[in-house]
Structure 1
């Protein structure tokens, strides 16, 4: 199959200047009784830059100038944050969220609700303003466990536990081909022209530019997570190892470089930032690895269940767990990470993903095991909206131009888009 090549993934800031008159927050929305549809004012709070808070921890070594997610950071100093708080200073008023029906109708999902518009539950895959669903891609028969969209490519790649990878045309939404692998896809990423697929005991590597296909046969058990840093490919495996391969441009092959030991159970999440590799594990810990020495320099033990996902944003490390919390970590003067804020949810949490909305404001997407995805403003954790699915969302991927993708346990892939205009429930 001849597939287009793609360049390195980046999180892009979206949209242009915003009209100041539309930057006012609706007074009636704050009181919980706005009835204007559409309302000309914002139905959410405006974030402000970080200000001094109650935390005495000083942050070092993560921040960069773009307020982006993941990637290298330059050193700077922060003195506190506004995690989980409304913005506006000491005189800001308490904000009451408007009451909304926030539960999706299970009969509507099954196509059998007889109440129609009179149903008191949602007949929609989302709740919130500013984003909408563009289309739904059908084809996978089991959990979608990986989504890859290389920039510069017209193709979207989705991997599933149904042992296939599907290739979709981004213009038509049509499936261009199905690759049968003979094993469950545990994860999938893309980097440059390469697509990497983690499977039991192996990593498949495809160069979509040259049609080269390689099999990296080193892992023990299922490969749950992968990440690329410089010329190293890291893979988190079922036995708790993190395996590293180095690309050899002369032989056009990936050669084994290192095996990082320390976790006692499977490694299910990997992210790179601030010249560090962060690994989340079934052993309830996060390990911090120096990318130059490949040595573990700290073990974080604040979670009480599987650490399902880790993410870098600004000078912070974010992690989520089946213990129903999102923890925000910051580096202290000593260089060690400590928890500066804990956000509690009602259900176990599965996947974190970061992007920017149409106004270039940072948004955290967090899926939970109640078959939903929460969208939060950062750093306030004000809820922007909610996405629903037939089953748990296990894969979230950001695309260019305000696009993002979700893949769930029913095999459905949904395509979403941030709009520059206010939208009703999608």
Structure 2
């Protein structure tokens, strides 16, 4: 908009340069009041439906691209699409945003609106959207699982497991376990919950439940393989139970020792391999046939927080601010083939496919955020923010496009958009 001040009167020039109309028709040089409000229905209208760009901005653009013509926009049309149709105060409210959520907006108290330099959103990026935010837990959410029924389960350090109706988003029941939930997983109809010194097992179809004793301290990680349930505990031991179909119970099967401090992540990979990550900075590779340790990986220099098996690769993340990608050599041992560095410590890795079947890596950092990356390029897809550290990430059933992030205020439900929706947005 080009605006000249003459006393208290403003005169707006026509698009394309100075007006050549006679002075007695200067009333036609005014911008239509109704057009600015998006309500003009007169055709033709005797007032202007457009405004002249600020010449100082055009000059700055020419300087920026080192040419004598204005810098063109990304669509190479010379216009910015919808932004070109915004009202005369658009330039005054356009603010360069920082990648930080406004703390006042979180509390519903920000008075700056669009002029705020901080984000008024829980995410950055395209192709996914927040569907719901489910509150109720009083402490960090540490586990989320969805057996595929109409009920989703969440566990928390507040010592409870909550069941949520996936259609209404309402909490339908609360179970008080009497101890902090360290982790949750599900296998088929079974839901397993790790709390101090025990693992709780529920069958959501038969409503049967079991208490599996043996762990020493908090159970931070669990995994399943065939008929085995494995749990990593605070004392560094990995316990295994085998499901007995005859007795409909879980029998103790083995105790895997080797870590010197707490086991915080377990994942089962190809060739019947179990991978364990520990506070002792190491990753151990175990054979599920022999239950023996095959290799110890020590390239991380801080706590190894999470592991992920993706095709033939093993991915690990650590508080040392790195993600390492491991691949098997000819002799079967693992070595690092790529290291991705972050500015903050990393807490959780999860992998999924978007609605175009593209692989996406979700990485929770200890700055209250989740980074989303395309694999294998590690090009950034977006960021998700929270008020507190995100201690749980889980993905929905294949093809659903759903994923969940849990923090100290509850958990949020996100969904990838269909390819057609992204193309037309």
TM-score range, shorter chain: 0.7 to 0.9
Q: Counterpart in 1 of 2:150? A: 154
Contact kept in structure 2, 1:160 and 1:411, CA below 8 Å: no
Q: Helix, strand or coil for the counterpart of 1:227?
A: strand
Q: Helix, strand or coil for the counterpart of 2:391?
A: strand
Q: Counterpart in 1 of 2:19? A: none
Q: 104-113 or 163-172: which moved more?
A: 104-113
Per-residue deviation at 1:35?
Answer: 4.6
Contact kept in structure 1, 2:279 and 2:304, CA below 8 Å: yes
Q: Per-residue CA shift, 1:80-104, capped at 9, x if unaligned?
A: xxxxxxxxxxxxxxxxxxx963221
Q: Could you tell me how far apart the structure 2 residues matched to 1:156 and 1:110 are?
A: 28
Q: Counterpart in 2 of 1:403? A: 402
Contact kept in structure 2, 1:144 and 1:158, CA below 8 Å: yes
Q: Counterpart in 1 of 2:304? A: 307
**Structure 1 pair 28/187, CA: closer, same or farther in 2 (3 Å)?**
farther
Q: Counterpart in 1 of 2:343? A: 346
**Structure 1 pair 423/109, CA: closer, same or farther in 2 (3 Å)?**
farther
Q: Helix, strand or coil for the counterpart of 1:133?
A: strand
Q: Counterpart in 2 of 1:128? A: 125
Per-residue deviation at 1:36?
Answer: 5.0
Q: Counterpart in 2 of 1:194? A: 190
Q: Counterpart in 2 of 1:211? A: 207
Q: Counterpart in 2 of 1:139? A: 136
**Structure 1 pair 341/100, CA: closer, same or farther in 2 (3 Å)?**
farther
Q: 2:375 aligns with which of 374, 378, 383?
A: 378
Q: 1:418 aligns with which of 398, 401, 416?
A: 416
**Structure 1 pair 306/270, CA: closer, same or farther in 2 (3 Å)?**
same
Contact kept in structure 2, 1:129 and 1:423, CA below 8 Å: no
Alignment TM-score, normalising by the size of structure 1: 0.76
Q: Per-residue CA shift, 1:253-277, capped at 9, x if unaligned?
A: 0010000000000000000011100
**Structure 1 pair 37/261, CA: closer, same or farther in 2 (3 Å)?**
farther
**Higher helix proportion, which one?**
2
Q: Could you tell me how far apart the structure 1 residues matched to 2:82 and 2:118 are?
A: 19
**Structure 1 pair 314/30, CA: closer, same or farther in 2 (3 Å)?**
farther
Per-residue deviation at 1:423?
Answer: 9.0
Q: Helix, strand or coil for the counterpart of 1:117?
A: helix
Q: Helix, strand or coil for the counterpart of 1:422?
A: helix
Per-residue deviation at 1:246?
Answer: 0.2
Q: Counterpart in 1 of 2:269? A: 273
Per-residue deviation at 1:111?
Answer: 2.0
Q: Return the index of the structure with the highest Cα Rg.
A: 2
Alignment TM-score, normalising by the size of structure 2: 0.76
Q: Could you tell me how far apart the structure 2 residues matched to 1:370 and 1:302 are?
A: 23
Q: Counterpart in 1 of 2:60? A: none
Q: Could you tell me how far apart the structure 2 residues matched to 1:208 and 1:280 are?
A: 29
Unmatched runs of 5 consecutive residues or more in structure 1: 1-26, 39-98
What are the residue-to-residue correspondences of 1:357-376 with 2, within 5 Å?
A: 357-376=354-373
Q: Could you tell me how far apart the structure 2 residues matched to 1:194 and 1:117 are?
A: 47
Q: Could you tell me how far apart the structure 2 residues matched to 1:411 and 1:289 are?
A: 36
What are the residue-to-residue correspondences of 1:159-170 with 2, within 5 Å?
A: 159-170=155-166
What are the residue-to-residue correspondences of 1:1-80 with 2, within 5 Å?
A: 35-36=80-81
Q: Could you tell me how far apart the structure 1 residues matched to 2:282 and 2:424 are?
A: 40
**Across the two proteins, how many residue pairs are aligned to each other?**
336
Per-residue deviation at 1:28?
Answer: 6.4
Higher RCO, Cα 8 Å, sep 6+: 1
Per-residue deviation at 1:110?
Answer: 2.3
Contact kept in structure 1, 2:387 and 2:409, CA below 8 Å: no
